[in-house]
Structure 1
Amino acid sequence: MESMITIPNVVAAFGSTVIIGTVWICFQVVRIAYDPDLREIPGPLISTFTNIPLKIAILRGRRSVYIHALHEQYGPYVRIAPREIAIADFDAFRTIHRIGSDFNKGPWYQGQAPGQDSDDNSGVFCVLSNKAASHRRRRFQAAGTRKVVAEWEPQVVELVDLTVHRIQHDLQHRGESDVMKWWTFLASDVTGSLAFGEPFGNVQNGERSALVRDIEAAMPIIGMRIELPWTKPILDGLPTWCGNSWSPLFERFVGYGQDAVRATRAAQAGGSKTLFSKMVVQDEKEQEIPDDLIEKEARNVIVAGTDTTAMTLTYLTYAVLKHEQIKQRLVAELKRLSTRPTWGELENAKLLNNVIQETMRLYPAIPGSLMRTVPAGGAHLGGFVLPTGTQVATQAWTFHRDANVFDQPLRFNPDRWDNSTPAMKEHMMAFGGPTRICLGQNIARLEILYAVSTLFRTCPDITLAPSTTDNSMEMVDYFAIKPKAGKCVVIPV
């Protein structure tokens, strides 16, 4: 007699499946929690079972501060999630991030946007394999050398001059100016000029372009997709009328990438260059990079090139104005320079460069974890055995505050760089680790040097507004840092 399919039978089968699935999940959680190797690593007991405390810190914009506090409590190796280890051991950092390292980027990097979910279809920032990334990095590095970047110096200087003029106009006519807003406009326009052949018009128009608004709207969604992967199908599957702002936003970013490729090809035809000229050039020695990958590189650069430089300039302005004596010394040094200083002259201004270095130490634009995956065969670091596939993370925020390397590490002291030690230089990782160091650092440095020197030469008599306090400038960390208040207001003295 054939068995009857009845509602009670279906409910019973479903219930059994749920029970079996729950038991299996619990078994896996316990198995990982009590892994004989991982259990040796200190950390909060709850973190051996779940990453929820870490995720809460991340969603609050406090990941770097949270992990740093754990290092202070537990030491250089901390288990911050069942299979994630935070490391503040510099010998281990060298092993993980050395040239030729087998510690590839962790899967975290490919959670940012649809269409970048494998090494074959991702921009170089999201490519996990160090070997796979090396080819495109060479092409990027060729576009970011000092010699090439110097060709864009006039455009950068023009945009800096206009930006500082706007700040000065605000001070004279409104009695205050939000430098964070203007530095964001500047960084965005420099990126636009170098990637598209012309700025986005933020500084000229004095308001956020559509692209800047899209970047600001995208960051929370990107954070949600990365840190809570289970939300991806929900975010991607919602219809637009039901609150899905991601799909049209992503389509616009695709368009921005396509515009960058078209602008690069037009620039090539006209004998000029953009950031991506080395990628579209035909070269028998180099494999051609498809347009769709260049488009993705452009999208990543648009985001990365705006927030990081803008926040470095914002926190530098804040830090200098908090220390009147440092400001007066900086203004005096800048007055001794020629009327229109060159890049080389600015690089020889000792205090100016010390101030920039100290800002990047105390307020690194990307302070948080550089996620890497333990290679096949596992690894021995700091006396611990780390199983294959374990995620290990090092962060600039902690290395930059190592009291064994930096005297009074929480103090803003540019003069410490007058007698910098090899250890101080090694511990500075504002531009990332040696294997995957930021490819735009020469562009950022050119922009920062001119912006800082022009601001304090043009507006030497400025100070922080009463509304700009330690509390308002408290860092929130969603990969790149930002002040909690979302602004940094200055006023005339």
Structure 2
Amino acid sequence: MSLANSSIIVAWTVIALMLWAIFNIFYNVYFHPLAKVPGPRSWGALRLRYVWALLNGTIVHDFEKLHQQYGPIVRVAPSELSFTTLDSWTEILQPGRTPPLPKDGRWSIPGLVAQGIVNIVDLDLHGRVRRLIAPAFTTSALRNQEPILRRYVTLIIDRLRDIVTTDKDGKNSIEIDIVPWLNFVTFDMLGDLAFGESFDCLQTSQYHSWIALLTDTPKAGAFAAAARFYPVVESTFKHLIPTFLKNRVLDHVLFVSEKVERRLNLESTRSDIMSHVIDQIENDGLAGFTMDHVNSTFMVLTIAGSETTATTLCGIVNYLAGNPAKLSILTHEIRDRYSSPTEMTLESLKHMPYLNAVIEEGLRLCPPVPWLPPRQTPEGGSTVCGVALPGGTAVSILTYAMGRDPNNFHDPLSFRPERYLLEAKTDPTSPFFNDQRQAYHPFSFGPRICIGIHLGMAQMRLILAKLVWEFDLEVPTEHKQTKWEKLRTFILLEKKEIYVKFKVREA
């Protein structure tokens, strides 16, 4: 073929692609079934704005701005809508809706032989896997697991006290980045509960190599999801991944498998997550799924049961340090109730009004999952919140924006734990009386509600109560203060340094 003919073919190919793009944009803007749904044309015409926000970690904040401008239902891509309506929880996630909305498979974790409980698309398979591990997350199971939780909370307090009391300036006061420490304690807890052995993050004061990779998984998942919107790009992307990275993923999958197998074969009478799974397998077998599903589930649980809890805890401590009056109320409640931290139990902490209000407010402003990855309408379409949707439409709930919406909460951008106290709920004169507390679900909703909700709340109560009992916390110097709203999100929040001034409490 001559050079001239080759140039002609290339030119016609470029022209054809340009015409296709123009036609696609014109169709998406004017004739697509979702064309009349509110939203900016630049987002509805092509998915490029969406992908750009996803890769830059600004998607939560960009969606929030779109909702502020266009309302509670916004078209954020040619075939995707974001919702902040209160009825979207039941419309999208309610188990009784027909037909049900499965998870969008484009958000599965790459590199796994089988998906874990969080990312399984098939609703029946998800139910079977959930039933396998559910007994490990009941309130009665949690009571038996309490000694394990207490052990690691004691350890983090000891480590932080060592840092403060060895301050070279002799002031017994030091600014500490709390992010790694709260990650260390929650990861060590989950390692022990899930695999019968800690990751030793607190002992070594550093992340286990496997944990370091896991914390990058949400970002990798966001990049993989972005590539899946363009099949040609996805195919090319797979071939460009270096061999050593592929091997690293395989090594870590093997690491989980070995840990699970070792714990399954360990003769132990103690109660932890795996002990309940062992009982279920012995009684009912694998019930139609494989050990790959079990392994992937435990890998995902390690993130979901630690990273998310640590995220909300970081947000709570950050807000408390910046609100001394609120911190003082919490500190007095804990110190007046307990003469020693050894008196704290999971049961008694459940009945501390202001502690629980602080945690609820932290969940509102710093939700563990700021944005729920999309569900997808089935073939034949569906109706969500009164909007008729064609098959294959992605629908998502923006938890972050719902918690900060002035239509849902009074003074929504301020840290006001009192909105969750009994007086605010029962006194019609309270400015928070009409807050939509019962319609906000930071742990999700329906059959996909976080299975570790009781564990997560117990972790936060115990860690936070012991922190404020042992230490006087203060806001750091101005240049070290963190504004939560500036942090990026890749499905999960990307936490940066959060400094808080620690001082051992005076007797």
1:341 aligns with 2:337: no
Q: What does residue 296 of structure 1 align with?
A: 296
Counterparts of residues 209-228 of structure 1 (less than 5 Å)? 209-228=208-227
Q: What does residue 37 of structure 2 align with?
A: 41
TM-aligned CA deviation for residue 351 of structure 1: 0.4
TM-aligned CA deviation for residue 218 of structure 1: 4.0
Please identify, of 313-322 and 248-257, the stretch whose mean Cα deviation from structure 2 is larger.
248-257
Please identify, of 433-442 and 186-195, the stretch whose mean Cα deviation from structure 2 is larger.
433-442
TM-aligned CA deviation for residue 163 of structure 1: 0.5
Q: What does residue 189 of structure 2 align with?
A: 190
Identity %: 22
Distance 1:472 1:360, change over 3 A: closer
C-alpha separation in 2, matches of 1:470 and 1:342: 32
Distance 1:317 1:85, change over 3 A: same
1:126 aligns with 2:119: yes
C-alpha separation in 1, matches of 2:286 and 2:414: 48
Could you tell me which amino acid in structure 1 is paired with residue 355 of structure 2? L
Q: What does residue 265 of structure 2 align with?
A: 266
Please identify, of 99-108 and 277-286, the stretch whose mean Cα deviation from structure 2 is larger.
277-286
TM-aligned CA deviation for residue 429 of structure 1: 1.7
1:396 aligns with 2:392: no
CA contact (8 A) 1:264 1:274 kept: no
Q: What does residue 82 of structure 2 align with?
A: 86
C-alpha separation in 2, matches of 1:136 and 1:156: 25
C-alpha separation in 2, matches of 1:461 and 1:67: 34
TM-aligned CA deviation for residue 361 of structure 1: 0.4
Deviations 1:98-128 (A, max 9, x none): 1233111112322x21235xxxx32121112
C-alpha separation in 1, matches of 2:273 and 2:434: 32
Match of residue 458, structure 1, among 449, 459, 470: 470
TM-aligned CA deviation for residue 442 of structure 1: 1.6
- Pairwise CA RMSD of aligned residues? 2.6
TM-aligned CA deviation for residue 288 of structure 1: 5.7
SS in 2 for 1:490: strand
C-alpha separation in 1, matches of 2:260 and 2:286: 18
Aligned length: 479
Q: What does residue 478 of structure 1 align with?
A: 490
CA contact (8 A) 2:373 2:491 kept: no
TM-aligned CA deviation for residue 285 of structure 1: 7.8
Please identify, of 467-476 and 186-195, the stretch whose mean Cα deviation from structure 2 is larger.
467-476
TM-aligned CA deviation for residue 51 of structure 1: 1.8
Could you tell me which amino acid in structure 2 is paired with residue 60 of structure 1? N
C-alpha separation in 1, matches of 2:32 and 2:399: 29
Listed as ranges, the gaps of 5+ residues in structure 1 are none
Q: What does residue 204 of structure 1 align with?
A: 203
TM-aligned CA deviation for residue 301 of structure 1: 1.7
Please identify, of 73-82 and 141-150, the stretch whose mean Cα deviation from structure 2 is larger.
141-150
Q: What does residue 113 of structure 1 align with?
A: 110
Deviations 1:247-283 (A, max 9, x none): 133123212321232133124x333354244444222
SS in 2 for 1:152: helix
Distance 1:427 1:490, change over 3 A: farther
Could you tell me which amino acid in structure 2 is paired with residue 122 of structure 1? Q
CA contact (8 A) 2:53 2:62 kept: yes
TM-score by length of 2: 0.87
CA contact (8 A) 1:167 1:179 kept: no
C-alpha separation in 2, matches of 1:322 and 1:314: 12
CA contact (8 A) 1:100 1:435 kept: no
C-alpha separation in 2, matches of 1:477 and 1:142: 32
TM-aligned CA deviation for residue 462 of structure 1: 4.1
CA contact (8 A) 2:190 2:305 kept: yes
Q: What does residue 442 of structure 1 align with?
A: 454
Please identify, of 459-468 and 361-370, the stretch whose mean Cα deviation from structure 2 is larger.
459-468
Could you tell me which amino acid in structure 2 is paired with residue 490 of structure 1? K
CA contact (8 A) 1:109 1:125 kept: no
CA contact (8 A) 1:181 1:487 kept: no
TM-aligned CA deviation for residue 21 of structure 1: 5.3
Deviations 1:292-348 (A, max 9, x none): 221111221222223211111111111111111111111111113343211110000
SS in 2 for 1:100: coil
Could you tell me which amino acid in structure 2 is paired with residue 450 of structure 1? L
SS in 2 for 1:398: helix
Deviations 1:439-462 (A, max 9, x none): 111221111111001100011354
Listed as ranges, the gaps of 5+ residues in structure 2 are 168-173, 426-432
CA contact (8 A) 2:184 2:202 kept: yes
